[in-house]
Amino acid sequence: MTTNNLLRRVSRSRTIKGVFAATTALVAFPAGSFACVQGPTVEGGNAFSMRWWQYTCCIGGCSGSLVRGKRVVLTAGHCIGSDAGTKSFWRCLQNEQHLGTALGSYAVVLGGWANGQNQVSDMGYNVTRTGLSSGDTMWYADQASAYNNSHNHVQLGYPAEGGWNGRTPGWCLTVGPNRYWNTPGDPRFFTNDFFLWGGMSGGPVFERWDWNYGIKQVGINNWSDRCNNAGSRRIDGEAIALLNGAPTN
Amino acid sequence: MKPVSRTVLKRSLAASAGTIILGSIAVMLWTSQHEPDISSGKDTTTGATSSRAKDIRTGSGRAISKENHQAKFQAELDDLIAALDSPDWHVRQQALARMAAFLKSLPREEAIRLSMALLESGVDKEIPGQKFAVGQNAGLIENPSLRVFFLDQLGQLCKEGNRPEAHEMALKILESKVSADEWAISLRNIAWHDAEGARQLIAEKTLEMIRHEDWLRSPTNGFLESMDGLVYTGQMEALADFNKFLDLGRDNPLKAVGSVGYSRMTDLYPVEVARRINENPDLLQEQADVRADVFAKMNVTESAQVAQLETYLDRQDIHPEEKAKAIKGLLSPKLYKFFGLMNEPTPITESQEGAAERWDNIQALVNKWEQDDRYPELNQAFDEIANAVAVGRADDELARVRDDYTADYMRKNPGVAMADVPPLVFSNNDPVDEVPPSNPMPEAPDLKPGEKRAK
């Protein structure tokens, strides 16, 4: 469903009749736009629940995850680009159920003097003007045991190329145990033996966790050499500390 | 009990005495090499009479305690140096953490004295696999060398105790350009000791660094992090240096310094940076994107910033495409957020309502320009801004509809969690949009820990 479709429908309600006329330019506007989709809720009987991908977002040619409430989309730094507003767009899916779309209000790259352009800083977040879902915070990021191979992991994103051809909704990889390991010499990353398609950058890596404690994101898709080697930026203490300044409303 | 022969006892005593004597000699030798000269009552690390040294001599209990600390410190140091040869990053990191914890466990004056003694001794060791990395509260989370580690620890100890030793050591280090990393941590220690009074010195020394050819050729992480001093002191003349860095090759680490430098400088000194760029047309002439990003950070409710923005838009040497990018960027600027050596991360707390209000203010300014027919070449950008603002308002309305629906659903269905509320469905004839994805998620094998899945 496109944003225009959604708006067209909602415009039939009295609530936003007055603003519909202005919405048709959305696709043409180059500002960052975000669409989060809601997929089926399948729980039980499997190592992974699908609920978490309700909160995986499409950001232009990249992916992200909705964190800390409704407005903060965690993604890869390289998905933010040279500024917050030039990344587009939202329509890389088919059959999705939008939780909402929104334009970017500002973007933050979590990187500084010594790593402004390398993979350490390949992490950031967009803050949307409008809340993207009606849910509260659905997962939390945690630095612990991100590479614990006794845990299962799932790696999500919306591939804009490759096997999913950009038109299929976007759970992407289900990862069993023993397929993650430390990146030698650099604890800020972990590696796996999958490759990621373009478009999955910025998508979340979730770790199987005790459901009583909710969803736990432990990494962000960063790179792939297309040879069954892919890497993720670990959500470490630094990332958590920097994320703590992001808005929650 | 088996009787001990006199000979055995003698040998045993001799051996013990020998051990004690050898140990004492070792401690004395180490002390003579590594410690301030406490016998004279002078602290050689500062050249000043040390009340601390006098205190040590006045009480035997404290002297014993000092020797204990000395010996324990030496043991910890030996362990640390051995661990730094480990190929395992975690082992190295844990050893450093142990030393930091040990120093914190000591009386502060002892920890400072021992750290100073080590730094004065010239002992150093490179820490493989570690670069200079700054964490929360400007503490180092990675240290490239043993000396940088102890300079960091010393700085923290002195900050907590409001003591001068780290500052004094820093001034010594800044006398000669041996290590950029040591300069970087020294500048932080100086800023900690005298936040306001040291600004001039920090500005001068950081500018010295940024123009030191040897360090520019192969910049260390410490060198790069020290650029925080330029922002801390608001050195506008560094903008020209940042500009040079931006013109370097893509893989040059200094290029990031240029981007981050302009961004952070503008966050803190928007009018000054914008004025500098407007008054120096050559600045960022080859960096249209960066220049547009600078003006995209202007606050349209501040008249001085609007004035600089309008001066920029009036400039004939700038392509309309760049200007369009700048004014559209007002809606969604980009910021860097990181732990700096001297500056706190930028606090960004704009609420949803705040964002809506900011966009309305941008729209009001654009309306005024349009009414005055001031920038006709930017009319398309103005239209796009108007559309975006309207879409933003529509999104707000949609969100309100969605939230109302969710609240209503939960009220009518007590016990249903928010995440379990079905998605909002609109009744119409549009095709397939609410159909769940057709391809199921692949089955994740419920493997036991340690079991491998075939590729």
Predicted confidence (pLDDT) at residue B437 exceeds the cutoff of 60: no
Mean pLDDT of B83-102: 90
| Chain A interface includes B249 (CB < 8 A) | no
Cβ separation B398–A133 shorter than 8 A: no
Predicted confidence (pLDDT) at residue B201 exceeds the cutoff of 90: yes
| Chain B interface includes A205 (CB < 8 A) | no
Cβ separation A245–B348 shorter than 8 A: yes
- Within 8 A of A15 by CB-CB distance, chain B residues are 397, 400-401
| Chain A interface includes B55 (CB < 8 A) | no
- Which of A85, A131, A134 lies closest to B331 in CB terms? A85
| Chain A interface includes B94 (CB < 8 A) | no
Nearest-CA residue of chain A relative to B420? A41
Predicted confidence (pLDDT) at residue B20 exceeds the cutoff of 60: no
Pick the residue with more confidence: B306 or A29? B306
- Within 8 A of B89 by CB-CB distance, chain A residues are 185-187
Mean pLDDT of A215-230: 74
Residues 6+ apart with CB under 8 A from B296: A83, A85, B325, B326, B327, B328, B329, B330, B333, B334
Query: Using one digit for the tens of pLDDT, what is the confidence trace for B282-326?
Result: 999 999 999 999 999 999 999 999 999 999 999 999 999 999 999
ipTM above 0.85, yes or no: no
Predicted confidence (pLDDT) at residue A134 exceeds the cutoff of 90: no
Q: Of all residues in chain A, what percent carry a pLDDT higher than 70?
A: 35
Residue B455 exposed, middle or buried by CB count within 10 Å (0-12, 13-18, 19+): exposed
CA distance B67 to A118: 47
How many interchain CB pairs under 8 A, A with B? 312
Predicted confidence (pLDDT) at residue B124 exceeds the cutoff of 50: yes
The answer to which of A164-173, B151-160, B235-244, B419-428 has the lowest mean pLDDT is A164-173
- Within 8 A of B441 by CB-CB distance, chain A residues are 42, 48, 50, 171, 174
How high is the mean pLDDT of chain A?
58
Please, are residues B324 and A74 in contact by the beta-carbon 8 Å criterion? Answer: no
Predicted confidence (pLDDT) at residue B197 exceeds the cutoff of 80: yes
The pLDDT of residue B422: 74
Predicted confidence (pLDDT) at residue B76 exceeds the cutoff of 70: yes
The pLDDT of residue B416: 82
Amino acid symbol at B152: D
- Within 8 A of B447 by CB-CB distance, chain A residues are 152, 176-178
Cβ separation A22–B350 shorter than 8 A: no
| Chain B interface includes A149 (CB < 8 A) | yes
Predicted TM-score (pTM) of the model is: 0.77
- Which of A38, A83, A136 lies closest to B334 in CB terms? A83
| Chain B interface includes A115 (CB < 8 A) | yes
Of A48-57, B29-38, B377-386, B440-449, the range with the highest mean pLDDT is B377-386
Mean pLDDT of A222-249: 77
Short-list A163, A226, A235, CA closest to A205: A235
- Within 8 A of B435 by CB-CB distance, chain A residues are 95
Q: Chain B: nearest CA to A83, how far in angstroms?
A: 5
Query: Using one digit for the tens of pLDDT, what is the confidence trace for B397-415?
Result: 877 887 888 889 899 999 8
CA distance B332 to B391: 14
- Within 8 A of A134 by CB-CB distance, chain B residues are 399, 402-403, 405-406, 418, 421
Show the CA angle centred on residue B359, arms to residues B358 and B361, nearest 5°.
65
Pairing of strands A98-109, B334-336: parallel
Please, are residues B183 and B174 in contact by the beta-carbon 8 Å criterion? Answer: yes
Nearest-CA residue of chain B relative to A32? B332
Q: Chain A: nearest CA to B326, how far in angstroms?
A: 10
The pLDDT of residue A185: 64
Mean pLDDT of B345-365: 89
- For residue B346, the 8-state DSSP code is P
- Which of B224, B257, B453 lies closest to A176 in CB terms? B453
How high is the mean pLDDT of chain B?
81
CA distance B120 to A159: 57
Cβ separation A238–B255 shorter than 8 A: no
**Cα-Cα end-to-end distance for chain A:** 26
| Chain A interface includes B393 (CB < 8 A) | yes
Token pair 């809606």: residue: B331
Pick the residue with more confidence: B443 or B191? B191
Cβ separation A169–B437 shorter than 8 A: yes
Query: Using one digit for the tens of pLDDT, what is the confidence trace for B367-396?
Result: 999 999 999 999 999 999 998 898 888 878
Predicted confidence (pLDDT) at residue B101 exceeds the cutoff of 60: yes
| Chain B interface includes A27 (CB < 8 A) | no
Cβ separation A50–B387 shorter than 8 A: no
Nearest-CA residue of chain A relative to B140? A238
| Chain B interface includes A91 (CB < 8 A) | no
Query: Using one digit for the tens of pLDDT, what is the confidence trace for B418-430?
Result: 767 776 655 443 3
| Chain B interface includes A163 (CB < 8 A) | no
Predicted confidence (pLDDT) at residue A141 exceeds the cutoff of 90: no
Cβ separation A82–B289 shorter than 8 A: yes
Mean pLDDT of A141-146: 45
Query: Using one digit for the tens of pLDDT, what is the confidence trace for B21-71?
Result: 444 444 444 444 444 332 233 333 333 333 333 332 333 444 557 778 889
Please, are residues B166 and B199 in contact by the beta-carbon 8 Å criterion? Answer: no
pLDDT band of A195, cuts 50, 70, 90: low
Residue B72 exposed, middle or buried by CB count within 10 Å (0-12, 13-18, 19+): middle
Percentages helix, strand, coil for chain B (3-state, rounded to 5) are 65, 5, 35
Percentages helix, strand, coil for chain A (3-state, rounded to 5) are 20, 30, 50
pLDDT band of B271, cuts 50, 70, 90: very high
Mutation target among A113, A126, A164 for the B interface, most CBs of B within 10 A:
A113
Q: Of all residues in chain B, what percent carry a pLDDT higher than 90?
A: 59
Please, are residues B340 and B360 in contact by the beta-carbon 8 Å criterion? Answer: no
CA distance A246 to A68: 8
Cβ separation B332–A245 shorter than 8 A: no
Q: Chain A: nearest CA to B360, how far in angstroms?
A: 12
